[in-house]
A and B are shown apart, each in its own frame.
Chain A
């Protein structure tokens, strides 16, 4: 300080000095003056507390003498910059662990300190404690980061339902980008027929209760509908609702699975009951005509086996249809003397039992009374497309003494009924000099008359 020996000046200098002392003693900020060599000249009381040292022990020291390296590695170049360029440092966030276990973050301003005559004396700095604010800012950033990086969809809307945030999980789930969705109404992800429901079943109960869970149908950008579970909360600001936030989980697989399971259970129940009714009838019908118990057991189990083949072949094709070639080879596994050939044909499921029983009865009949009873007898089994039908021809060859009159037994009349009644087909028998000849026509669901594929005739 320069004393011009003017009494008013010296008074002012005294006041200034008092003001400075007051400022340094009472400011909550870190205030300091450094000389051109970056040595502390004066520091505020807060600096004494920060370092745990009296001012006298701070003065004359530089940042590198007082701060840990991870702090002074940044602050020293800043001091040098201010001193050499004269450019101030404005609101720079700096700090960290100043002393073991204590985090101190500050917003720092540094400016050049000039004398009244304009000569550079050093620099002046003020750092305002920012630790709590920094923590808040960090937690906000972390929350944002978590929100953007979790795989689940989190969406927030304002009280009117307009989208205020749309995280990455939502982009993946719905196929809409955040950019496209911010500011749009949340109803765009609901099928149009559910828009009323959105108001009454979702938004209204949510605002009433503060929290709400719901299972809803939702729309993807592609237009596909999926099932979502929503966990929703009202956002509050100063105790007043300010918006809504929701977590959406895709539960389509679960919902579809439940539907499928219910349908399957119902279908299974129905099939089992039907099968039991059929078996009961088969047993009675067979018993009514069987001369002995042994004959009954043999006929009944043979017919039951044929029904098992029908069931297994159908089940192997997920009940969608009966591949004729596969059914024939399964039904005739133990029948030497039968040659079978024909194109690949899938028959409707209701043809399965009639066809497998037909093959069983024809084979049994041929073994007992027909071609397969004789050493050089044989059967030719061929099938072909006839417009929207499949014609299956069973021709017995090499019968030395074919019965002159045709009197089909119960087995073959059963086949007749099954083919005509149950499968909606036609069944005819004919006696030729070579042996029995049977023709089965079965309806299919495709019409091959227009396009004659390979194997068609």
Chain B
């Protein structure tokens, strides 16, 4: 990233597995994001979202400690925040969690850093590349 110093963009990371979260957080940092999280429960993530002015992208593990990420989705949709689901479960199980909500983009575990980068580039392209 060259040119004028930019305010780092914020990525919300919700993943209850610490090692998996570390990996995603590293990639986000490499891409110039400031990482909000990782959070292991949807309650913790909701609290953080309330005080975060702007979130460019959210990365959500579907199954969290004590529940799923479903409580976060309405707020993300309301704020028009793009998000990606990461999960080891297949689609039919996600339908249970999402309860009829349209299926957002998702990354099946285990995914490579390259796959994660590709999804992030699509959902939250670097501002510099927007012409």
Which of A's residues lie within 8 Å of B, judged by CB?
266, 269-274, 276-278, 280-282, 284-285, 288, 350, 354, 414, 417-418, 421-422, 424
Contacts and interface: CB of A to CB of B under 8 A. Distances in A.
B54 interface: no
Interface stretch (B13-21, B77-85, B122-130): B13-21
B90 interface: yes
B109 A422 contact: no
B12 to A, nearest CB: 15
Contacts of B105: none
A273 B16 contact: no
B18 A280 contact: no
B90 A269 contact: yes
Contacts of A277: 17, 20, 23, 88, 109-111
Given A273-B108, A280-B110, A281-B23, A422 B18 contact: yes
Contacts of A269: 88-90
Interface of B: 16-23, 26, 38, 40, 63, 65, 88-90, 93, 108-111
Contact of B89 (A266, A281, A350, A424): A266
18 contacts: A269-B90, A270-B89, A271-B88, A273-B110, A276-B109, A277-B17, A277-B20, A277-B23, A277-B111, A278-B20, A281-B22, A281-B23, A414-B18, A418-B19, A421-B38, A422-B17, A422-B65, A424-B40
Which 3 pairs across A and B sit closest by C-beta, in order of nearness?
A273-B88, A277-B110, A281-B23
A280 B21 CA distance: 12
A288 B27 CA distance: 13
Contacts of B90: 266, 269
Contacts of B40: 421-422, 424
A274 B17 CA distance: 9
Contacts of A424: 40, 65
B108 A281 contact: no
Contacts of A280: 23, 110
B79 to A, nearest CB: 25
A273 B93 CA distance: 15
B88 A281 contact: no
Interface centre among A269, A281, A285 (most CB of B within 10 A): A281
A273 B26 CA distance: 20
Given A273-B88, A277-B88, A421-B40, A350 B65 contact: yes
A414 B18 CA distance: 8
Given A270-B88, A274-B88, A424-B40, A417 B22 contact: yes
Contacts of A281: 19-20, 22-23
A403 to B, nearest CB: 26
A83 to B, nearest CB: 89
Contacts of A273: 88, 108-110
Given A274-B88, A280-B23, A281-B23, A418 B109 contact: no
Given A280-B23, A422-B17, A422-B65, 20 more contacts: A266-B89, A266-B93, A271-B88, A272-B88, A274-B17, A276-B110, A277-B109, A277-B110, A278-B20, A281-B20, A284-B23, A285-B19, A285-B23, A354-B18, A414-B18, A417-B22, A421-B16, A421-B21, A421-B40, A424-B40
A266 B93 CA distance: 9
B18 A274 contact: no
Contacts of B63: 270
Nearest to A307: B19
A270 B110 CA distance: 10
A310 to B, nearest CB: 12
Contacts of B109: 273-274, 276-277
Contacts of A350: 16, 65
